[in-house]
Amino acid sequence: MSIGGKTLGEFAQNPDGKTYDGRKVAQWLFEAVTGKPMSDEEAQRLVDEAQARAKARRKP
């Protein structure tokens, strides 16, 4: 599947060619499922929330 002519990997890959931008992954997946775009701000909020949950799970 592609969104805007780009696969998930092409859309979300960082310039280093080895890692991916979580914000862009969220945007691509949201559009693939809903057919609607997601703003950068909304995607960043989702990433921030996920990182906070992961950090909370790591605490003893």
pLDDT in tens, 6-35: 999 999 999 999 999 999 999 999 999 999
- Total domains in the chain come to 1
Give me the pLDDT at residue 30, please: 95
Residue 36 in any domain: the answer is: yes
Give me the pLDDT at residue 52, please: 95
What residues make up the domain containing 13?
Answer: 8-58
Q: How confident is the prediction for the chain on average, in pLDDT?
A: 94
- What distance in Å separates the CA atoms of residue 47 and residue 28, rounded to the nearest whole number? 13
Residue 32 in any domain: the answer is: yes
Q: Count of alpha carbons within 13 Å of 1, Cβ hemisphere only?
A: 9
Residue 59's pLDDT band, with cuts at 50, 70 and 90, is confident
Residue 40 in any domain: the answer is: yes
